[in-house]
Structure 1
Amino acid sequence: MELKQRSASQTLNQESNWPITTFAHRARLAAGCATLLFSIAKSLVLTTAAPRAWLESMLAATVAYFTADLVTGIYHWAIDNYGSAQTPIFGSQIVGFQGHHHRPSQLAKPPVAYNVHIAAAAVTAVVTPINLLCSDPVFLLFVGVFAGCVMFSQQFHAWAHTPKGRLPTLVAMLQDAGIILRRADHAAHHRPPFNNSYCIVSGVWNRVLDRSKFFVALEVVVATALGHEPRSWSDTISDWSEKSGTN
């Protein structure tokens, strides 16, 4: 009887496409948040002892915020256009991001822990040694803000696919202010020619990168140097478009 109930529950989850958040997902999110808070708190404590570092720290935080948007854009472009399920380490993310174009609204369904647990684990592994060994408040704040933006970028992306009426009030305010990715700004990424608007923290870099043909130039370099053409060159529009019945 128990096996039948489990089977029915699994079938229901598969049919509704609702991912299950596990204890491991929540633990990774908690560890990532603790790591970020430690980095920022240590920076603030050290800055208190060196008041002249306040201006430098605020500048570092601003640079980190803009840098994170750029880095997430490059990463998003790479996994949208290259690799497959067989790619070591990144295979599951590549499948997820490339498949996301067929069912974009589904990204809004999973809880925060499910969306960010992979990035949270990476943040914990990379930032913890820095927190323990570094005593530079400016660098610590840069790391904390940069890592935080990167860690939550996929959630910002998810909120950009969430109807405004379903967003928490604070999130809607941050979107309206352009501090995190706006729904309208990200919509261009899901329209032909499907090769722009890759940045997913605030999207502030998208206009600059798209107008300068930055990613097109990068694709030419990769194709010339490595012989790998991006999906955006060869796949048809239907390969990138939303599929009916997948929401």
Structure 2
Amino acid sequence: MNLHRKLEIGSVFLFLIGLIFLVKKTFPLFAASFSGEPWMSSVYLILSLGIGYIIADFLSGMVHFLCDNFGDENTAYFGPAFIQPFRMHHVDPTDITKHDFFETNGNTCLVVLPVMGIYYFVFDSISVWISFSFLFSITSIVFTNQFHKWAHLENPPGWIRILQTSGMILPKKMHSMHHTPPFSSYYCITCGWLNPLFEFIKFFPRLKTSIEAALIVNKER
């Protein structure tokens, strides 16, 4: 077992332990709020979860976009673990379906662990609803690659098809649009909610033009 494999496995378990710990720390505050104002607390909870999911979808799109368009597999730190898998994914889109749970989710767990550590130290200064939004967001980020993998399964189980069809996770049909040449659209891969909006406003093409212009200016200095 090589070092990266050990990191994948260790990161998954550390994430799950950390998540249980943080939920246990947050839940009493939620329970107190819910007992006092159940209806309003229900609304806040739904809003918190929705915002957290949208944030996760946005971040998945940004990482996907950057890894597809900038740097290469030799880029320091991020190249082998993130850029190379995204680039190879376009060569063989179904390869991701052969990855086990740890290989699929290990890298994202590794990335969010420091964020969870920072959250622990600022927890007491933020509201319970921001806490729930944060926890749901990082959990969604961690399992984004799992949703991505399921979007490439030829015949996913029925319960996964229900989640995909309902739009709760990345739909197969929507993600297939990203794998249509020139592979420059529909980057968001958590649930894909932001993809239609970003396509309408040409978010990623404009962002790419801006980044490339900034890189040229910096290179000329």
The TM-score bracket by the shorter chain reads 0.7 to 0.9
1:46 corresponds in structure 2 to 29
Give the 3 Å change call, closer, same or farther, for CA 24–220 of structure 1 in structure 2: closer
1:101 corresponds in structure 2 to 90
Unaligned runs of 5+ in 1: 1-20, 229-247
Give the CA RMSD over aligned residues: 2.3
Which stretch of the first structure deviates more once superposed, 199-208 or 120-129?
A: 120-129
| 1:149-202 CA distance string (max 9 Å, x none) | 1111111111111112xx344322211211000111100111122110100001
1:31 corresponds in structure 2 to 14
* Percent identity of equivalent pairs: 27
Indicate if the aligned counterparts of 1:36 and 1:147 stay in contact, CA closer than 8 A: no
Matched, 1:140 2:140: no
Runs of 4+, deviation exceeding 3 Å: 21-24
Matched, 1:177 2:160: no
| 1:36-58 CA distance string (max 9 Å, x none) | 23333332221112234723233
More helix by share: 2
1:156 corresponds in structure 2 to 147
The CA distance in 2 between the partners of 1:35 and 1:123, in whole Å, is 10
* TM-score normalised by L of structure 2: 0.86
The CA distance in 1 between the partners of 2:216 and 2:77, in whole Å, is 22
Shift of 1:132: 5.0
Larger Rg: 1
Indicate if the aligned counterparts of 1:85 and 1:94 stay in contact, CA closer than 8 A: yes
The CA distance in 2 between the partners of 1:76 and 1:214, in whole Å, is 14
Aligned-partner SS, 2:94:
helix
Indicate if the aligned counterparts of 1:181 and 1:200 stay in contact, CA closer than 8 A: yes
2:113 corresponds in structure 1 to 124
**Number of residues of Structure 1 aligned to a counterpart in Structure 2:** 209
The CA distance in 2 between the partners of 1:24 and 1:87, in whole Å, is 19
Give the 3 Å change call, closer, same or farther, for CA 212–180 of structure 1 in structure 2: same
Shift of 1:133: 4.3
Give the 3 Å change call, closer, same or farther, for CA 160–25 of structure 1 in structure 2: same
Counterpart selection for 1:58 from 19, 43, 46: 46
Shift of 1:225: 1.4
2:55 corresponds in structure 1 to 67
Give the 3 Å change call, closer, same or farther, for CA 220–22 of structure 1 in structure 2: closer
